[in-house]
Each structure stands twice: as C-alpha cells, then as structure tokens.
Amino acid sequence: MAYNFKNLTISKISVIGAGQIGPDIALHFAKSLSPFGVSVIVVDISPQALEKAKEKVHKKIAKGVEAGAFKPEQAEKIKNALIFSSDYDQVHNSQIVVEAATEDENIKDKIFRQVERLTEDACIYLSNSSHMQPEVIFRNIKNKTRCLVAHYFFPAEINPVVELVPGKETDTSILNLLLSFYEAIGKVPIKVKSSYGYAIDPIFEGICQTAIMCFEKDWGTEKEIDTAAMKALGLGVGPFTALNLTGGNPITAHGLDEMGKLLMPWFKTPTVLHEKTKTKEKWNTAQRGEKVELSPEKEEKLVKEFRGAFFALASHILDIGIVDINDLNMACELSLVIKAPFAFMNKLGINNAYDLVKNFCANHAAFPFPKVLDKAKSEGGWKLKDIITSKREDVLLITIRRPKVLNALNLEVLGQIKNAMEEVKNDSSIKSVVITGFGVKAFVSGADINMLASLKTPEEGINNSKNFQVVVDYVENYSKPVVCAMNGFAFGGGNELAMACTARICKKGLPVLVCQPEVNLGFIPGAGGTQRLPRIVGVEKAAEILRTGRSVSSKEAAEIGLVYKEAEGNLVDEAVKLAKQIASGEVKAKTVPKEPISKNGDPKQIEIGHLSKKIDEILVKAIYEGSRMSLKDGLDLESRMFGECMKTQDMKIGLENFKTNGPKAKAIFIHQ
C-alpha cells in the first residue's frame, strides 16, 4: 500500500532524531498516512532516546483514544505504522526523509551525507531546523534540488504551521508539491525565503528577548511579565512559560546572538538567559490556576513595550522581504497562539500601532524603524486578504483560507471573493472560475459566529442578510461559469455560497458534506438557503433538511442533485476540468430557477425535537411562501424573516449556548 498524491507515491517516511520534536513529527505522519499503509521510521543512534520517544508517542496515542480523537482500531494502525530503530539501514527506500536532530550544522551535515548513501536520488530531504539556512545544512549534498527546510512548531503533531524554506538550488516544482502535500495531510504550510531564523522565530525569540530585558530592568517578576505579555498580545502562554515548556533556553540563546550578526544588531542574548542556559535552570513562572495581579502602571508600561516590540518585529520581517504579509499574519497567529500582528495593528488603529513602534525604536537604538510601516500608515492600514487567487490555464482559482475558523465567512471575505471575480470579469483570457477552501476538513464552516452574535436589532439582521445576499447573488449571476470545489464540509453560509455557483463538485465518500445548522442556533439561513435549496432539491426535501438541521453526505448530495458529482481524483483538477467543460458548452449545468416553483399548500408535519418552534414557524414561512414567489422576492422575504429572528428569545439562547458550550450542546429553547 502507498499514499498517492499528484506525482508523489509514498510508502515510507523516515524521521531522523528521537529527541524533543522528531517523535511528534513522526506521529503526525503516522496519524495522517497510516490508513494508506505508509511506514514511518524513527531513527536515532541512542536506544534510550528511542525507547523514551516510543513511550511518549504511545502515551499521546492513548490520550487521543480517551479524548475520542480516534477509535481504538485507528490507534493500533498508527502504532503499527511507527517503527523505532537505531539501524540507519531502515532509511532505505524512503520517499521523504525528515531530519530533526540537534541544531548543529555539522551534525545535520553528517546525517544527510549518511542518508544520501542510503536513498534514491528522487528522495526528498527536509531538515526541521529552527534557524539554519538550507544552503548551510545541505552544503555537501550532491543533488540539492530536492533539499529544503521544513520548520515545525511545538507541539509538532498538533501545531498546524510548517515553514517551507527552499535553498538557492531547490526545484520549485518540489516546493510547490510539498506546499500541496502538507495541506493535504492537515498542515498549514507557508513559503519563506532562505534567511537565518526564517520568518516566525525572530518574532518569537524577539518577544522572549523583550521579556528578559524587562526582567533585567526590574520592570516586573517573570510571572508579572508573562501575564502582561499575554494581555498585550493575546498569547496562550507567556514567553517565560513558553521557554520552559519547549526547553527553549539553549536554542534561543544561540539564535539571538546569531540573529544579531545576520539580521540586525538589536538581537542579542541577555546575560540572564546565558546564565539560565548554563545552569539549566527554569524560569519562575505561575502554576496552573495561579492568578497574578499587576498594578495598572506596571501593566500599562509592559503592554506598550510588548506591543511595540511585536509590531516592530513583524514589520521588520516584512522589510527584509522573505514572506508574504498574509502568510505571516496567519502563521504567527496559528503557530505562536498570538494575535495576528497586522490584523491586530489595523484593529488598534494604524496610527496607534505606528506610534508604539516609533517609541519602541526610539528606546532601542539598535532597532531600525521598519520602512513598511510608513507605507501602511499612508494607506490607512495593512491590506490583508483571506483568499488566495491563482490561474490554471483559462480558469481563475479562488481559495478561501481562514484555517483557524475552518474558512468561516464574513462580509470581508465575501467582498474579497467578489473583488477577485470583478477584476477578471472583462479579461478574455479567463473563461471560468473555481472557488474552493483551504485544507481538507472544511470548504466553509459557516458564517462567522462572532459577526452573527453582534447583531442586535431586526434592522441589523435584515441588513446583514442583504449584504451577504449581494455577494452570493453576484456569484450566481456572474457572466462566466463558477464551479464550487467542496474540499470538505459546507455548513450554513458555505453551502449557501456553493448553491449560488453554476455547479458543485465534492470529494467522494464524505459522511458529512453539507448542513444548514442555523435552527440549532436559534435562527434561519439568511444568504439564500431557504430559497435556493428548495429550487435545487425540491421543496419538501429542502424543508426537511432545513427544519431539522441535519447533515447530508456527499453520496446523498449527489443523489438529490445538490452536487454535480463526487470526485474520486484530485478535487481541484476535476473542478477545473468541469469549469472548462461548462465554459465550452460541453457540459450544460442546471441553473437555479428564478421563477416561482410551487403552489403547495400547508407544509408537512416534521419532528423537530428540541428545536425552537418559534424559529421553525419563521423558517416554514420563508420556505413555503418563498417557493411561491420569484427568487428575487423570495430572497427579500428571507432577509425579513432573518430579521424576525432577532426579536426572539430563542436566537439569544441559541447563540449564547453555542459560544458557551460549543456546537454539540443542545440549546434549551423556550419557543419565544
């Protein structure tokens, strides 16, 4: 057995190094690829390290079973896929080798020279370095075209971000293949040009340096500084706690000094960090549940310092030109569990962010003021996007990329989709459009719940619905065919966007493809769901799906005509092919009727269980009265009915239950 992805066939992956991160990298590969029979070899010269790594990984697998992340039979497959060995000959016949050894260029060089003797020329070499440039690591490898850095973040089996750093001789096609491959196995890869420390570590280690400098200046205790950093930047844990958890003192101490030589003089290892590294002493951080109080004056001083440092560091990385702003903004948030830096600056106000950086640089003479901030200020903020656009011959491909919220829609994202389509509307070289989502789990998980929760009045609800409908209508009435490639589940607004497309195509074998779950949250669809679904699958089938909020599998979606077909091969490739066929007239797509579709009388009785009878009453009116109207009038009715939900107690109850208890907890509706 093997895992086939594009022109890559994988039966064996080897991970060299059984220390801090290697076993976690191996665990992620095993979780993703064991269903395909792929073997994952962990190699280390130390039998003790291997035994410890095996014990650690098996404990994590057992915890996964306890938490319900996977079933016992899946756990056995993962365990069986993992082989721990001190025999380097096990690396034979690997298609990918990931080195995760000590951050020492001579050790890495020695490992890869040994691996080169054991593998074929097509084997891809990846180094999980956190700092070193690929040109240094792979300096003695003959075929450098297949060599690059794949920088994982702690903990590697959970943290989604991987920085892919090609060297000067890396084959671009291999880089692009790996970007797609990592996305296909559930990671969020970003491309970073070769530079010491890459894009994210200089920011993280710069924040750690800032924290230690504050400590050395007696601005607070480690506990106080950690607390202030978390408040200032939205960190999951403070910098001192992060250094303790990752055992990061030695690597940070080394990295800061090297960055001082190679990036800018401001980076410098503080004396106390050198001392902690020598003594192997941990920082004095707060225990779980311990509350740390700060005086308002101390907190304000520390918050300003951390925000100034964070914004300056992120802007500096843009200044050196090694990464795309949208990649960096997203990857910082995901990898460091921190606020997305450029979105955060926009939220605070670009002038406020500019002043914080100006003051920080004035107090840190070795830190040059980032030039990109001048441009951002003159433009009124950072220009950010949650979509990626590319061209496949004469097809525009739009990928919605918001992995933190599973590609959830808000008006800003919809506006970006509309703008991208508007830009090529009169471009004769573009014949059709494909819209898809990033990753493998979700096309679009729904509308952004925080946006919905902010709506207070019927008027606000009507306006929100109409604003969504404007963009969805634009997609439906676009002058060129638009195919939706449903790479995962489409809930709520995601399905409503998909239904507005000329045709839909989905991955085969998905137990859950679409769902209109709004009734579970105490409201109704507002972006066309009550009108387009009946026109595509029939009124009674649509009413049953909408009123119960149940999910529909990919198989059922194909059977009832909600999707054109299930794709067995590469989804985007098949979507592009379908878009071209529709554009050429080879395939005739079934359009959503604009005229009334029904003269039905009373709706059928449906068992709705715990769901709100009040919301069901509003929903029934939208479905059945709308089916007797034109699509245009039906959509107007839907917006008014969505506004009616704002008057109910059940919408407040449903949204609060979702925010407090999560999507699986049933709301206790009062039917008012």
Q: How many CB atoms are closer than 10 A to CB 284?
A: 11
Q: How many CB atoms are closer than 10 A to CB 447?
A: 26
Catalytic residue numbers, as ranges? 496, 518
Whole-number Å distance between alpha carbons of 60 and 232:
32
What are the structure tokens assigned to 373, written together? 């901030």
Whole-number Å distance between alpha carbons of 29 and 22:
11
Whole-number Å distance between alpha carbons of 310 and 317:
11
Whole-number Å distance between alpha carbons of 2 and 9:
6
Instruction: Find out whether 251 and 318 touch, Cβ atoms under 8 Å.
Output: no
Report which of 596, 525, 515 is spatially closest to residue 557, judged by C-alpha positions.
515
Residue entry with tokens 């994982």: 152
Mark residue 671 as left, alpha or beta (left: phi above 0; alpha: psi -120 to 50; beta: remaining): left
| Vertex 119: Cα angle to 114 and 125 (nearest 5) | 80
Q: How far is CA 119 from CA 18, 94, 176, 354, in A?
A: 20, 7, 22, 51
Whole-number Å distance between alpha carbons of 286 and 229:
13
Residue entry with tokens 């060995």: 85
Whole-number Å distance between alpha carbons of 126 and 29:
14
What are 396's strand-pairing partners?
391, 433
Collapsing DSSP to helix, strand or coil, 565 comes out as: strand
Report which of 166, 163, 162, 108 is spatially closest to residue 134, judged by C-alpha positions.
166
Whole-number Å distance between alpha carbons of 455 and 654:
13
SS (H, E, C) 311-333: HHHHHHHHHCCCCCHHHHHHHHH
* DSSP designation for 34: G
Residue type, position 200, single letter = I
Phi, psi of 99 (to 5 degrees): -90, 125
What are the structure tokens assigned to 235, written together? 């960190």
Pair type for strands 82-85 and 12-16: unpaired
Phi, psi of 527 (to 5 degrees): -115, 30
Question: Residue 598, class by beta-carbon neighbours within 10 Å (0-12 exposed, 13-18 middle, 19+ buried)?
Answer: middle
Q: List b or e across 551-590, with b for residues whose CB sees 16 or more CB atoms inside 10 angstroms.
A: bbbbbbbbebebbbebbeebbbebbbbbbbbbbeeebebe
Contacts of 583 (CB under 8 A, 6+ apart): 394, 431, 432, 480, 481
Q: How many CB atoms are closer than 10 A to CB 278?
A: 11
What are the structure tokens assigned to 242, written together? 């992060």
Residue entry with tokens 């795309």: 324
Residue type, position 363, single letter = N
Whole-number Å distance between alpha carbons of 210 and 306:
7
